[in-house]
Amino acid sequence: MSTVQELLHSVFGFDHFRGVQQDVIERVMAGRHTLAVMPTGAGKSLCYQLPAVAREGTALVISPLIALMHDQIRSADAMGLRAASLTSADADREQTVQRFKAGELDLLYVAPERATGEAFRRLISRVNLSLIAIDEAHCVSEWGHDFRPDYRQLRPLLDENPDVPRLALTATADKRTRADILTQLGIPQDGLVIAGFDRPNIRYHVRPRDGLNAQLKTLLATHSGPGIVYAPSRDKSERIAEQLSSGERRALAYHAGLDPSVRSRNQAAFVSSEDMVIAATVAFGMGIDKPDVRFVAHAGIPKSIEAYYQETGRAGRDGEPAEAWLFWGAEDFVRARMRIEEVEPNRRASERERLNALAGFVEASGCRRAILLRHFGEDPAESCGNCDNCLDPPKTIDATEIARKLLSAAFRTEMRFGVGHLADVLAGNDNEKVRSFGHDRLSVFGIASSEEVALVRPVARALIARDALRADAYGGLSFGPAAKPILKGEQELTIAVPPPRSRASRKRYDG
Ligand code: ADP
Ligand code: ZN
C-alpha cells in the first residue's frame, strides 16, 4: 500500500502537506476521531479525500449544500477519485446506491437530512465505511453562526458506527462552538486540531460609511485587480454594480435572485477577469476558487466576526498583498438588533453576544488583526503593523461626558427622537421643532459645547453599536441595556476621533 506521502504526489499532485494537514490525516489514518478547525483555503478537502483513497471502504461526507457537494465532486473527479452524491438534484441516485453497495465509491456526499434518515442508516449498515467526514461542522452548534437542526440528529448514525473515524471540519468556530462540536459529535478533547488563523497578507480597514458611493469609487481608483463588494441585500448589490460600472472597471452583480444563467455568467466573467468587480450578496464566494482577489469590501456590517473572517478570507489566497475594507453605519446595528428580536427567544442571547463582538471589532482603536485572532482563541501580538489602526493609530478621546449628555437628552425627551433633534437640543438650537415640544425648557437644552455637538453623531454611532442606544424604525433613540452603566459612571466611552465628514453626506444622517 502506498504511504500518504506517495498518494499526496501521485493522486493529488502536491509536493508537501500544508500546515496541519499532515496531523489531521495521520489521526484519521490511525482511526481516531478528530475536529479540524482550518481557515478557508487551508485545504480541508484533502484531509478527508486522501484518507478516503488510502483507507478501505467509502468515505461518507456530510455536507450542508448541494452546490458545495457538486463542486467537491467535480474536483474529486478531476483527480481521478470516484465520488458521487445522493441529493434531490441527482437523477442517478439508484445507480449511486448500487455503486456504493458494491464498494465502487471513494467518496459519497449526502446532506444531513438524508444521512440521519432510517433508510440511509440501514443502507450504511451493509457497507464498509473508511471514515465519516462532517463538513461545515459548526452547523451542529447553536453557538455557531449557522445552526442547522439536522446536524444535531447525526449522533445516532455516528454511534452506530463507533469504529469508523469521524472527521469534523470547519473554518469558523470560536472556543465555545468548538467545545460544543466535540460534545455533540462525540469527539474527545484531544481530537481538536487547530490551524493558525492569521492571514498576514490581508490588510484590514474599517471606516464609518460616509457617502458609500464615493468611498467605493475611491477604493476602485486606488486598488487594481479583481475585487468583491459585499452588499447587505440583493437590491443593493445591483445598485452598487450599476453605480460602479459607470467608472473604468467592469462591475457586475451576483445574488440568489438573479436568473441562474445570468448568475453563472457573471460568476464566470469574474473568475476569469483580472480587474473586474463583483457586487454580491454573501451568496457569492462559497466554492469559488479565485486566488488573485485583491480586495474584499463590505458595504455594511457582516453577520458576525466569523462571517467577516470567512468573507474577507476570499482576498489574497495567492499569498500576495490584499485588502479588506469594511464600511459601516449605526443603522446596520439597528437593523441587526431588530432582526435578533425575531429569532427564537432561546437563541437571542448568543446572537446578541455575536453582534457585540462585531461592534467591538468595528469600534476598536487598537489592532484589528489582534481582535480577530483573539476571537478565534489565538494569542496574537498586540500590534500587527498591517491594519488601519496599526499603520495610522487613530487619536482617541474620552467621550464619556458627551455620551452621558446624549443619553440624558434622549431620556428627557421621552426616548422617541432621533440624533438630529437631540443634537439640536444639546446645542441649544431653539428651532421650531424644539420649541413646539417644549424642549427648549429642558435642563439638557444647550448643555453641550460646540466641540461636543460635533461629536454627537460619532458618539451616537458608538452607543448604538454597543447597545446603549437603540433606534426604532423612525430613528427614535431609546435606552439599551448598556446605557445605565455609562449614565451611572461605571463605564467609560472612548472613541476614535472621526475623520472629517465629506460634503456628500454632511446634510443627511447616514450613520
Ligand atoms: P478549504 O476547503 O479549506 O477552503 P480547499 O480544500 O478548497 O480549502 O483547498 C484550497 C486550495 O488549496 C485548493 O485549490 C487545493 O487544491 C489547494 N491545496 C490543498 N492542499 C494543498 C497542498 N498540500 N499543497 C498545495 N495546494 C493545496
Ligand atoms: Zn494591526
Structure confidence at residue 499 (pLDDT): 67
User: Strand 83-86 vs strand 58-62: parallel, antiparallel, or unpaired?
Assistant: unpaired
Pocket test for ligand 1, best of 5, 7, 15, 45 (most atoms within 8 A of CB): 45
Q: Is any ligand 1 atom within 6 A of the Cβ of residue 153?
A: no
3-state helix, strand, coil in the chain (%, to 5): 45, 15, 40
Nearest atom in ligand 1 to the alpha carbon of residue 45 is: 6
Residue written as cell 465555545? 176
Q: In DSSP terms, which residues pair with 133 in a beta bridge?
A: 61, 167
Structure confidence at residue 500 (pLDDT): 66
SS3 of residue 169 by DSSP: strand
Q: Is any ligand 1 atom within 6 A of the Cβ of residue 143?
A: no
From CA 240, how far away is CA 284, in angstroms rounded?
15
The dihedral region occupied by 415, where left means phi > 0, alpha psi between -120 and 50, and beta the remainder, is left
Blockwise average pLDDT, block size 10, the chain, 511 residues: 86 90 96 93 93 97 94 94 95 96 97 94 95 96 85 95 97 86 96 92 96 96 96 97 92 96 95 96 83 97 92 91 97 94 89 91 94 87 95 94 97 96 97 97 97 95 91 89 93 84 45 36
Q: Is any ligand 1 atom within 6 A of the Cβ of residue 370?
A: no
Structure confidence at residue 442 (pLDDT): 97
From CA 393, how far away is CA 38, in angstroms rounded?
31
Give the containing element (helix H, strand E) for 62. strand 58-62
Are 260 and 288 a contacting pair, CB within 8 Å?
A: no
Tell the residue nearest (CA) to atom 24 of ligand 1: 14
- How many whole angstroms from 389 Cα to the centroid of ligand 2? 6
Quote the cell numbers at residue 68. 458545495
**Maximum Cα–Cα distance for the chain, whole Å?**
88
| Nearest listed ligand to the Cα of residue 63 | 1
Structure confidence at residue 140 (pLDDT): 95
Comparing CA positions, the residue from 37, 17, 47, 54 lying closest to residue 187 is 37
SS3 of residue 326 by DSSP: strand
The yes/no answer to whether this complex scores an ipTM above 0.90 is yes
Comparing CA positions, the residue from 244, 212, 243 lying closest to residue 227 is 244
Structure confidence at residue 510 (pLDDT): 39
Helix and strand numbers (H, E) in the chain are: 25, 17
Q: What does the H/E/C string look like for 427-461?
A: HCCCCHHHHHCCHHHCCCCCCCCHHHHHCHHHHHH
Are 118 and 110 a contacting pair, CB within 8 Å?
A: no
Q: Which residues have C-beta within 8 Å of that of residue 98, sequence separation ≥ 6? A: none
Encoded amino acid at 124, one letter: I
From CA 144, how far away is CA 351, in angstroms rounded?
10
From CA 501, how far away is CA 511, in angstroms rounded?
11
Q: Is any ligand 1 atom within 6 A of the Cβ of residue 38?
A: yes
Kindly compute the dihedral angle of the four CA atoms of residues 343, 64, 295, 379, in this order, to the nearest 10 degrees. 80
Are 82 and 11 a contacting pair, CB within 8 Å?
A: no
Encoded amino acid at 275, one letter: D
Pocket test for ligand 1, best of 4, 18, 22 (most atoms within 8 A of CB): 18
Structure confidence at residue 511 (pLDDT): 36
Q: Is any ligand 1 atom within 6 A of the Cβ of residue 45?
A: yes
- How many whole angstroms from 235 Cα to the centroid of ligand 2? 33
Residue 203 has φ and ψ, to the nearest 5°, of -100, 125
Are 169 and 36 a contacting pair, CB within 8 Å?
A: yes
Structure confidence at residue 504 (pLDDT): 45
Residue written as cell 423612525? 474
Quote the cell numbers at residue 60. 461518507
